[in-house]
Structure 1
């Protein structure tokens, strides 16, 4: 028989909390909780989460507990795509501060639940590049166009057009819990309207 002893099971459960993205599967195999509570880091840290999302079946639910200052946009896009392609119902429970790349992940979910004191911050990307002048110019031109498209996809219906322009021009947009919840409902209604029309 290959079952875990009580001591071994307890050690395994303790170890899950040491991972960059703890994924907790309780007694109900159709419910999974994942915790994105640090910087959105290297894509490889999110492989297991993307696998869980990709292999979940209809009727399963995944809850993402998000409290993050943001991080690597490529990682956020990888996770967001996995959420959108998942057969599971994916809910974002947001706490503390959810900023930058974290907002992309949250807004990719099927549902969004705000804690009472959440702060939601959306801004333009930051980063750096190096190389020959013409290479950097080409990369900058591409990145601006690409991320403008990404912003419109995820923030469209959540931010106003004027806010979108402000973000692209370099402003930070801070939104509290009540406003996030209201805007989320508005975004869902707009999406529902475009699906029916």
Structure 2
């Protein structure tokens, strides 16, 4: 690998994606195992794995003198650089407020800045990690999209189904979350819940 791309460290996946473009003529989707972080609430646009993977692909494309691909990735990096640092800071603050169960701080951040619960995928985070009672408080704010999908194509219900907490599912459904929505690979909330239950029984 170092012989082909001597001036930069490029992983196997990024190199393979470059070859895919070379033969097919179109870049394929980034593999999540190397281009996403472990936080399910993250949109994986500006986290370190996403940025590093984009840079690796750009280096590999440059090594093969694929100028149009380099330009494509440079534009992507430019879009990442345009993310408002204050906006990102407030989103992190919302996540911290959710993590600590601080409703007062959450309300303060939402009323004092032009940032929404959806910007932070707040319901996704609350459904995955917060207590059922705190989730209800967030739901009662009434400003979040119950059927919003994250970067992985999951709605709040899909996230809640993996948690196996009936109270969370009931709260979301009672507020109008759509149970028929599917993930990017075609799974419904019921299918996810069933699968999680089977895995628990095996344990």
> Which is richer in helix?
2
> Which is richer in strand?
1
Question: Which of the pair has more CA radius of gyration?
Answer: 2
RCO (CA 8 Å, sep 6+): is it higher in 1 or 2? 1
- TM-score (structure 1 length as normaliser): 0.29
